[in-house]
Chain A
Amino acid sequence: MRAWAQGIGWILGDAAGSAQGGRRADVTRIARGPLSWGDVSRAPFPRFGRLGLLAKYAVAAAALAGCRPASDHRKTATAIVLTTASGVLSSDAAFLRTLRRDEGPSPLLFPYSLPTAALGEVSLRYGFTGPADAEYADGDLLGSALQAGLARLAAGTARDVLVLACEANDPDVLAAFGLAEGTHLAVAVRLTRDGLVESDPTRQAARGGGGSPTALVRYLPGRGENLVEAPAPHRLPAPARASESDKRHGALGPEARGVCGLAALLTAGPPDSELVLPTDGGTVLVLCRPSEAGGGQIS
């Protein structure tokens, strides 16, 4: 199974990246601390501050991947898949704290105690009416997320899917479970099913332009026999590297490593190499040279 990445956005520690249309990625530094909507978009979003932590990162990464706010007349049947490891532990903790206070349980916090709330905020913001569900994962979060997105496309239930891999929890909450403090990270990839995208620039121009894809994404099922040897580790461009603070806390877990690798591929110019992400059941390959990757045709 393969699909075209039309746009990729990510937030990792104090860096935010956006890659669209076959260009090199734009990477900017963002302030550490609470995520600000102004760091990722100029479009107004007054409700952003009230969202749960996971929902904030999901909506922000989607904006960086090129998702545009919906109007009532412009909803699309795009599917959404969210993959997370630690889920909504911080929202759970915040709601639990209100139970112990005099004011009682908060109706504003409770809805964010499900990862589905992040899906709902993304679908509301961008007008996505396709299937939406969340999967928990361990190991390589980005690989699992892309595998899940490709599986939705292979099942034929959507033409496009927004794949989200998000980790966003307060350090004190993670510490309560004996987990190392992790960095906040979010990746959003807009995938379109193969055969629906024109990847050849010449033919694309003949058809009146349109955005060219950013990368080709493939999934090879079967553990072991199809696992491609990973290429030499990619050298990370400075903005996408984990900060000294992250490294000090041992933050660069497997999920962050996948994001760093993706950021490195997209910011290093026209790459020859590919990113290989092992998953539970197979291997996800992100090939970053769309025009030489076999060519997609518009059906």
Chain B
Amino acid sequence: MSPPPPVAILAAEALTALGDSRQDTWRRLLAGESGIQPVGNDFGPHASAHVAGAIPGRLDAVLRHAAAAAPPPARGATDCPADAWRNTDPASLAQVRAYRMARWVGAAALRQASAAWDDNSHGAAGLVLGTCKGGLDACTARLAGDEGDWTALWNPMALGRALADTLRVAGPVRVVESACTTGLVAIAAGIRLLRSGEARRVLVLAVDALDEFLFAGFASLRALDRRPCRPFSTDRSGLNLGEAAAAIVLALDDPPPGREQPGEPLAHVLGYGQASDAHHLTAPCRTGSGLSSAMRQALASAGLGPATIDAVNAHGTGTQYNDEMEALALRATFASDVPPVMSFKGAMGHTMGAAGLVETVLCIEALRTGLIAPVIGNADNGVSVPLPIVRTARRAERLDRILTLKSGFGGVNAALVLGRAEVAS
């Protein structure tokens, strides 16, 4: 059976601890900079001794640009609900950082894709939101007895609906959660909407914002490193948290007869795969079998072999178990020919549910520029498999396809194959 046709990525945007746009983040990543900083008392007592990829200091300044946060003019949304056109957010929404961040990147991505995003009506445009704890600050406030009107944000689905309203997307809304694989799973959900015919364009968003809850939780698991994390290094001792939002716009590259072509893509999604460890609730399978299964599925769905992959964007959290597991899974898939390995968490922290999509956006920049970025914080190869870890930015001999990987709580694993705009499977 031939693989399904690639899916075009028409727009991409990211807001991270490193930068206010995908290009800004990519430029600083190539320069070897890091957005990991001490967080002080911004996120409660459990965070005070930690560092993280936080963006509270400049978040207000970035989001204050009202024009930048506005979606493009809507066209065609004749069957949009009556309340879908409101331009101002309820007061409660405006206090939810995840909502503000997601709205900002979503609007920016829609502006990039405005030529192709010409019909917001039901059946034309869909929205997928991926988040682990988006809107958690609303939950925290309400459960702490805050009397504000939080009812509208009592679960992530409400956050997804609010974003669809504000961004004027009238079609199907999906909200997915799959721990650290959430961003990649959101892309897969968007592809399903396209291929089932439920939408012709899909805005995929992923967001997670830092909160006392998250610092306390990961600290209780002893998963945090108080120093900037060191993925794949011998002395690695845990992850740094981060916050980010990202957005992409997807369309079928090969639309049905009579439908318009999607426009000039930035890159393609060639294939994806998911698998579970069935091993432990929070620890990865020591053999990496779940992740290697996800990689095999992703390659098979793209109709590709391992030798066609030019670089890997590893999960690379900086924890002992994850990095070792990932190394074993890479060896199981690529044998002794593992492609150059990039990991971005040393520069902006582990952005949880946003990680998959944020790092996908950075991989798109890699494919567009032909450059691969260094693993910030890495000093040596501290895993049992010799990995070609990228330590300085450089131009790749060939950079047509990148495999990006994520694993998370619950034993979930996901892999995605991205292709340069000019390259199909």
For residue A237, give the distance in angstroms from its CB to the closest CB of chain B. 31
A10 interfacial contact with B, CB 8 Å: no
Is A116's CB under 8 angstroms from B409's CB? yes
- A121 contacts chain B at the CB level, 8 A cutoff: yes
Chain A residues, Cβ within 8 Å of B176: 133-136
* Stretch from A32-40, A175-183, A186-194 that touches the partner: A175-183
Task: Return the chain A residue nearest B160 by Cβ.
Answer: A136
Instruction: State whether the Cβ of B411 lies closer than 8 Å to any Cβ in chain A.
Output: yes
> Can you give 28 A-B contacts (C-beta < 8 A)?
A92-B213, A93-B143, A95-B217, A96-B143, A107-B222, A110-B221, A111-B281, A114-B132, A116-B409, A117-B281, A117-B409, A128-B278, A129-B275, A131-B275, A132-B411, A133-B181, A135-B176, A136-B155, A154-B196, A155-B192, A155-B195, A156-B301, A157-B297, A157-B301, A177-B151, A179-B151, A222-B197, A223-B123
Residues of B within 8 A of A131 (CB): 273-276
CB of A292 within 8 Å of the partner chain:
no
| Residues of chain B at the chain A interface (Cβ within 8 Å) | 44, 46, 122-123, 132-133, 136, 139-140, 142-144, 150-151, 154-158, 160-161, 172-179, 181, 185, 188-189, 191-193, 195-198, 212-213, 216-222, 273-282, 290, 293, 297, 301, 408-412
Which of A89, A107, A119 contacts B412, CB < 8 Å?
Answer: A119
Question: How many A-B pairs fall under 8 Å by CB?
Answer: 180
The tally of residues in A whose CB lies under 8 Å from a CB in B reads 58
Q: Which residues of B sit under 8 angstroms from A95, Cβ to Cβ?
A: 213, 216-217
Q: Name the interface residues of A90-131: CB closer than 8 Å to any CB of B.
A: 92-93, 95-96, 99, 104-107, 110-111, 113-121, 123-124, 127-131
Contacting residues, chain B, for A128 (C-beta < 8 A): 276, 278
In the complex, chain B residues whose CB is within 8 Å of the CB of A115: 177
A293 at the interface (CB under 8 A from B): no
B151: chain A residues within 8 A (beta carbon): 177-179
A210: CB under 8 A from chain B? no
A243-273 interface mask toward B, CB cutoff 8 Å, 1 = contact, 0 = none? 0000000000000000000000000000000
B281 — which chain A residues lie within 8 A by C-beta?
Answer: 111, 117, 120-121, 124
Contact B220 A116 (CB under 8 A): no
Please give 14 more A-B residue pairs, beta carbons under 8 A apart, in addition to A124-B278, A131-B274. Answer: A93-B143, A95-B216, A96-B140, A96-B144, A107-B220, A110-B220, A111-B281, A116-B177, A124-B280, A135-B174, A136-B160, A136-B177, A280-B172, A282-B198
Q: Is the CB of B198 within 8 A of A221?
A: yes
| Whole-angstrom distance between the Cβ of B270 and the nearest chain A Cβ | 15
Residues in B whose Cβ lies below 8 Å from that of A176: 142-143
Q: A129-B278, A135-B176, A138-B157 are in contact. Are A113 and B143 (CB under 8 A)?
A: no
Q: Is A75 engaged at the interface, CB distance under 8 Å to the other chain?
A: yes
Q: Which residues on A sit within 8 Å (CB–CB) of B158?
A: 138
Q: From A76, which residue of chain B is reached at the shortest CB distance? A: B278
Could you tell me the distance in whole angstroms from the C-beta of B289 to the nearest C-beta in chain A?
8
User: What separation, in Å, do the CA atoms of A114 and B178 have in the docked complex?
Assistant: 8
Q: Does A87 sit within 8 A of B, measured CB to CB?
A: yes
Find out whether the CB atom of A92 lies under 8 angstroms from the CB atom of B277: no
Contact A85 B155 (CB under 8 A): yes
CA of A113 to CA of B217, assembled, Å: 9
Q: How far is the CB of A260 from chain B (nearest CB, A)?
A: 22
Chain B residues within 8 Å of A117, by CB: 281, 409-410
In the complex the two chains form, is A133's CB within 8 Å of B174's CB? no
The answer to the question of A173 belonging to the interface, with a C-beta cut-off of 8 Å to chain B, is: yes
CA distance A70 to B23 in the complex (A): 47
Complex-state Cα separation, A127 to B275, whole angstroms: 12
Asked if A276 is at the interface (CB within 8 A of a chain B CB), the reply is: no
A123, B277: Cβ atoms closer than 8 Å: yes
Interface centre among A96, A133, A157 (most CB of B within 10 A): A133
Question: Does the CB pair B279–A133 fall under 8 Å?
Answer: no
Q: Does A137 contact B (CB under 8 A)?
A: yes
Q: In the complex, what residue of chain B is closest to A127 when comparing beta carbons?
A: B278
A157 to B188 CA separation, bound complex (whole angstroms): 11
Asked if B157 and A85 sit within 8 Å, CB to CB, the answer is yes
Residues of chain A contacted by B196 (CB below 8 angstroms): 151, 154, 221, 281
Contacts of A221 in B (CB 8 A): 196-198
Q: Which residues of B contact A123 (CB under 8 A)?
A: 276-278, 410-411
Task: Give Cα distance in the complex from A21 to B411, angstroms.
Answer: 31
Residues on the B chain within 8 Å of A93, using CB: 143
* A291 in the interface (beta carbon within 8 A): no
Which residues from A are CB-within-8-Å of B222?
Answer: 107
A120, B411: Cβ atoms closer than 8 Å: yes
Which of A85, A89, A105 is within 8 Å of B216, CB to CB?
A: A105
Whole-angstrom CA separation of A155 from B220 in the bound complex: 38
Assembled-state Cα–Cα distance A133/B178 (Å): 5
With an 8 A cutoff between CB atoms, is A80 at the interface?
Answer: yes
A86 close to chain B: CB less than 8 A: yes
User: A159 CA to B282 CA in the complex, in Å?
Assistant: 26
Beyond A116-B179, A120-B281, A179-B151, is A92–B139 a contact (Cβ under 8 Å)?
yes
Neighbouring A residues of B188 by C-beta, 8 Å: 155
Please tell me if the beta carbons of A281 and B278 are within 8 angstroms of each other in the complex: no
Chain B residues lying within 8 Å of A173, measured Cβ to Cβ, are 143
B217–chain A nearest beta-carbon distance, Å:
4
In the complex, which residues 63-96 of chain A have their Cβ closer than 8 Å to any Cβ of chain B?
70, 75, 77, 80, 85-87, 89, 92-93, 95-96
Chain B residues with Cβ below 8 Å from A114 are 132-133, 177, 179, 409-410
Could you tell me if B297 and A136 are in contact, using CB atoms closer than 8 angstroms?
Answer: no
Among A86, A157, A281, which residue has the most Cβ atoms of chain B within 10 A?
A: A281
